[in-house]
Chains A and B, each alone.
Chain A
Amino acid sequence: MKKAKGLLARFNTSYLIDNIVPIIFIGFTLAGFIVAKGLPINFFLSELTSRFYRNAFLVLSLLIPVVAGLGLNFGIVIGAMSGQLAILIVRYLSIDYLHLSGTWELILCFALALPIAAFVGFLTGRLFNKTRGQEMIASLIAGFFANGVYQFLLLFVVGVIIPVRATHPIIKPDGVGVRMTVDMGGLHYALDRIFRVPFMWAVLVVSLLVLALVVVMYLVRRKRGQQGSLVSFIIKVALLAGLACFSLYSIATNSRLMYVRQVPVVTVILIALLCVFNELIMKTKLGQDFRSVGQSQHIAAANGINVDRTRVIAVVISTVLAAWGQIAYVQDMGTLNVYGAHSQIGMFSVAALLVGGASVRKATVPQALIGTLLFHSMFIMSPEIGKAVFGNALLGEYFRTFMAYGVIGLALGIYAWNANRKSRITLDPEPVKEANS
């Protein structure tokens, strides 16, 4: 009896440790709402959704390397740089020669980013195979290294080795190198503006669609004779219906929520498609290979799986997705900070994923989405809390940087600590002899 209790207590503490990061963040966001009373909800939601549209794609690009056992791929900054290169090339050509519309520029960006990112992803993948067991630190350093190469390319190769028109708006006035910031011109909101709906309308439509889905699923299950929990069904229906009514009410009364930023439908659909892609690829042979390699490179190899190749594919996919994610990010921002836009996305995306409850070895689509929301809630709240509690918004800004680093450090530490604990050789528990005495 005592033993069982001890076991339960241990299970609880280990559960707490495993989920410490999300717990801290939920607590923090809730505390933030209580403390920062003045924060208008429509401002918060506008900020949060904007950040979600920009970052979700990047966070989702981290999933496959985690499944394939490469850990958290800080190297997505390399993908982001590829995306920015594609944007710069397209912008340069479009202004001088092609004169494309924003949408076509965007499509061209996506197309051009693919080979660039696939190539650098291939190189990073090869690097990770050579730094086996140290992939995470290698991916971090590789990002720094690539940043140096990227800057060299854009500051000294452009205009010196690659001839460019010196008076081009994205080229520095002296004709050598790309400017610090480049205007996106027609690319700004190229993806977002295709189709936009007011936030509460989107909530209404989505809640009604999900409601319909839930009802249909329930009926189908009933028909098949499977037992479904009636209680959970009723709760779901009630919640969704409530949400739909609430959005109707907001629309009718034109409440504050109507001033939340409009939903860029195509961007959201792309994010949804990426979620579906991540789920579907896991149901293919390739996905199963990712999992096998991720679980044990040794056993996968013994069963004839080409481990190195599988790992490289995982990194290539991740890098390409990151490149596309960065394009989606930049088109939403409107201007490209050529030498800075990419530098922190690796850290912030990884932190967001971990906040969702992912670990070095396990990460899912819901974790990525929830993590993005939670992490960016913290990001918005921090300065507000700093202002409200300490009268200093700067404090909040430093605080959120600290949280991003701290979350990653904590998650890595807990994972390594657990792994070490499990792999330690210990004696089997004392046999019967002792029980008798």
Chain B
Amino acid sequence: MSVKIAKKNNGVKRGLAASIIDKIGLPTLIIAAFFAAVMITAVVLKQSIPVLISDILRRFGMNGVLVLAMVPAIRSGTGPNFALPVGIICGLLAWTIGIEMGLTGIKLVLVVALMATVFAVIAGYLYGRLLNAVKGAEMAIATYTGFSIVGFMALVWLIAPFKSKQMGWMMGSGLRETIKLEGVGAAQIFNKFLSFEVLGITVPTGMLLIFFAFCLLIWLFFRTKTGIAITAGGNNPEFAAASGINIDRNRIIANIISTVLGALGIIIYSQSYGYFQLYSGPLMMAFPAVAGVLIGGATASKANVSHVIIGTFLFQGLLTASAPLANQLFEGSDLSEILRMVLQNGIILYALTQVKGGGK
């Protein structure tokens, strides 16, 4: 059964490669081919395919919203949101406060989501203001904004007066690096909602529904008056300005949305994981998200919701599938992690070479 799926995948790719290469883009095709090859190898090496597909679905849903956060930023012309940690931090802060308040279960998650949204709106607004002040160097500055916030929050985690036993160290002050969500009944809370099993594949229905709901919302947003104006401002700022669009304001709106998606994205991500990480945990989280949307066919200036879905599926799928495989081939090694580093940063570099107009 699964052999067929893999082969079919491969066949489709080859048959149409010539005609769709322009439309889909070379990087996407290469990764897709790679993914297909890994899946075939997995079958040949008798990996448990249902388990693999379950994992892929889970990772897809976990990362989806974080990748989706790239879309508003890219479309508004500020480039991929390399400052995704800003949003993530808002989500983490909300988690810690929620747990500190002693909430559990769905109540906790909803309160956390609400708080995270509020924090992210404020942080996104400030971040948008910052980006407007540094036009032309957004990507580098966004990266270091993200790093700085993570560095600063490490201080906060260490000295913030949290009392909850779920999060503190056995002794001394400060929060733990890894905080489990099982104790507060929030682990896999979305994954388990309406979850079902078919052919041995576990489908995290709730999480996937939430992800697709966000995709739909973002897609709809870019069909509204404001969304269209944001896109136009990103594509051609001069054109938009001549049509009376307040580009700076739109860039702020887009980055608020992106930051909110980052905040909600980390909530979905950590409930699926079962725990969340403080301190340097969020430091590098922007890069896989950026790579995800780029692999789906986006560029530093163009992105669609479809790029998010395709890219997250391919990238996370490839990483998930290659991990057990690499482990089987090279025992006890971290080949999959290295693959992630090379792929993720390779695709970002490729996208940077496609950015036009620098150089004075």
Q: Across the interface, do B358 and A406 meet the contact criterion of CB distance under 8 Å?
A: no
Q: Given the known A-B contacts A127-B349, A297-B359, A402-B151, are A152 and B141 also in contact in the complex, defined by CB atoms under 8 Å?
A: no
- 8 Å CB contacts to B: which residues of A4-19? none
Q: B145 on the interface (CB 8 Å rule)?
A: yes
Q: Across the interface, do A156 and B152 meet the contact criterion of CB distance under 8 Å?
A: no
The stretch among A52-60, A92-100, A409-417 that forms the contact with chain B is A409-417
- 8 Å CB contacts to B: which residues of A288-325? 296-298
Q: B315 on the interface (CB 8 Å rule)?
A: no
> In whole angstroms, what is the CA distance A394 to B339 when docked?
33
Write out the residue numbers on chain A whose beta carbons fall within 8 Å of the beta carbon of B279.
398
Q: Across the interface, do B352 and A413 meet the contact criterion of CB distance under 8 Å?
A: no
Write out the residue numbers on chain A whose beta carbons fall within 8 Å of the beta carbon of B172.
392
Q: Across the interface, do B134 and A409 meet the contact criterion of CB distance under 8 Å?
A: no
> In whole angstroms, what is the CA distance A402 to B146 when docked?
11
By CB atoms of chain A within 10 A, which of B144, B158, B173 has the most?
B144
Q: Across the interface, do B154 and A412 meet the contact criterion of CB distance under 8 Å?
A: no
> In whole angstroms, what is the CA distance A155 to B141 when docked?
33
**A366-406, CB under 8 A of B: which get 1 and which 0?**
00000000000000000000000010101100110111111
Q: Across the interface, do A409 and B139 meet the contact criterion of CB distance under 8 Å?
A: no
- 8 Å CB contacts to B: which residues of A111-138? 127, 130-134, 136-138
Q: Across the interface, do A145 and B349 meet the contact criterion of CB distance under 8 Å?
A: yes
By CB atoms of chain A within 10 A, which of B134, B135, B150, B335 has the most?
B134
Q: Across the interface, do B151 and A405 meet the contact criterion of CB distance under 8 Å?
A: yes
Q: Across the interface, do A133 and B359 meet the contact criterion of CB distance under 8 Å?
A: yes
Q: B41 on the interface (CB 8 Å rule)?
A: no
Q: A141 on the interface (CB 8 Å rule)?
A: yes
> In whole angstroms, what is the CA distance A351 to B222 when docked?
40
Write out the residue numbers on chain B whose beta carbons fall within 8 Å of the beta carbon of A419.
136-137
Q: B12 on the interface (CB 8 Å rule)?
A: no
Select A152's contact among B148, B158, B342, beta carbons within 8 Å: B342
**B321-335, CB under 8 A of A: which get 1 and which 0?**
000000000100111
Q: Given the known A-B contacts A390-B159, A395-B159, A420-B133, are A155 and B338 also in contact in the complex, defined by CB atoms under 8 Å?
A: yes
Q: Across the interface, do B134 and A401 meet the contact criterion of CB distance under 8 Å?
A: no
> In whole angstroms, what is the CA distance A390 to B330 when docked?
46
Q: A213 on the interface (CB 8 Å rule)?
A: no
Q: B345 on the interface (CB 8 Å rule)?
A: yes
Q: Across the interface, do A297 and B360 meet the contact criterion of CB distance under 8 Å?
A: yes
> In whole angstroms, what is the CA distance A155 to B341 when docked?
14
Q: Across the interface, do B134 and A413 meet the contact criterion of CB distance under 8 Å?
A: yes
Q: Across the interface, do A142 and B349 meet the contact criterion of CB distance under 8 Å?
A: yes
Q: Which residue of A lies closest to B172 (CB)?
A: A392
Q: Across the interface, do A409 and B141 meet the contact criterion of CB distance under 8 Å?
A: yes
Q: B161 on the interface (CB 8 Å rule)?
A: no
Write out the residue numbers on chain B whose beta carbons fall within 8 Å of the beta carbon of A140.
140, 143
Select A413's contact among B141, B349, B355, beta carbons within 8 Å: B141
Q: A147 on the interface (CB 8 Å rule)?
A: yes
Q: B19 on the interface (CB 8 Å rule)?
A: no
Q: Given the known A-B contacts A398-B154, A398-B155, are A137 and B143 also in contact in the complex, defined by CB atoms under 8 Å?
A: yes
CB distance from A154 to the nearest CB of B (A): 10
Q: Given the known A-B contacts A140-B143, A297-B360, A413-B141, are A402 and B155 also in contact in the complex, defined by CB atoms under 8 Å?
A: yes
Q: A30 on the interface (CB 8 Å rule)?
A: no
- 8 Å CB contacts to B: which residues of A138-190? 138, 140-142, 144-145, 147-149, 151-152, 155-156, 176-177
Write out the residue numbers on chain B whose beta carbons fall within 8 Å of the beta carbon of A151.
338, 341
Write out the residue numbers on chain B whose beta carbons fall within 8 Å of the beta carbon of A147.
341
> In whole angstroms, what is the CA distance A177 to B342 when docked?
18
> In whole angstroms, what is the CA distance A149 to B358 when docked?
28
Q: Across the interface, do A409 and B144 meet the contact criterion of CB distance under 8 Å?
A: yes
- 8 Å CB contacts to A: which residues of B345-360? 345-346, 348-349, 352-353, 355, 357-360
Q: Which residue of B lies closest to A131 (CB)?
A: B352
> In whole angstroms, what is the CA distance A103 to B355 when docked?
47
Q: Across the interface, do A401 and B151 meet the contact criterion of CB distance under 8 Å?
A: yes
Q: B60 on the interface (CB 8 Å rule)?
A: no
Q: Which residue of A lies closest to B331 (CB)?
A: A174
By CB atoms of chain A within 10 A, which of B134, B341, B359 has the most?
B359
CB distance from B77 to the nearest CB of A (A): 14
Select B342's contact among A136, A148, A155, A408, beta carbons within 8 Å: A148
Q: Which residue of B lies closest to A399 (CB)?
A: B155
Q: B240 on the interface (CB 8 Å rule)?
A: no
Write out the residue numbers on chain A whose beta carbons fall within 8 Å of the beta carbon of B333.
155-156, 177
> In whole angstroms, what is the CA distance A148 to B336 when docked?
11
Q: Which residue of B lies closest to A136 (CB)?
A: B140
Write out the residue numbers on chain B whose beta carbons fall within 8 Å of the beta carbon of A416.
133-137, 141
Q: Which residue of B lies closest to A396 (CB)?
A: B155
Q: Which residue of A lies closest to B147 (CB)?
A: A405
CB distance from B78 to the nearest CB of A (A): 13
Q: Across the interface, do B134 and A417 meet the contact criterion of CB distance under 8 Å?
A: yes
By CB atoms of chain B within 10 A, which of A137, A399, A419, A420 has the most?
A137
Q: Across the interface, do A137 and B352 meet the contact criterion of CB distance under 8 Å?
A: yes
Q: Across the interface, do A134 and B352 meet the contact criterion of CB distance under 8 Å?
A: yes
Nearest 6 pairs of A and B residues by beta carbon? A133-B358, A402-B151, A148-B341, A409-B144, A145-B345, A416-B134
Q: Can you name 11 A-B residue pairings with CB atoms under 8 Å?
A: A134-B355, A142-B349, A144-B341, A145-B341, A145-B342, A148-B340, A151-B341, A402-B148, A405-B144, A408-B147, A409-B147
Other A-B pairs beyond A132-B358, A392-B158, 4, CB < 8 Å: A134-B358, A405-B147, A405-B150, A416-B133
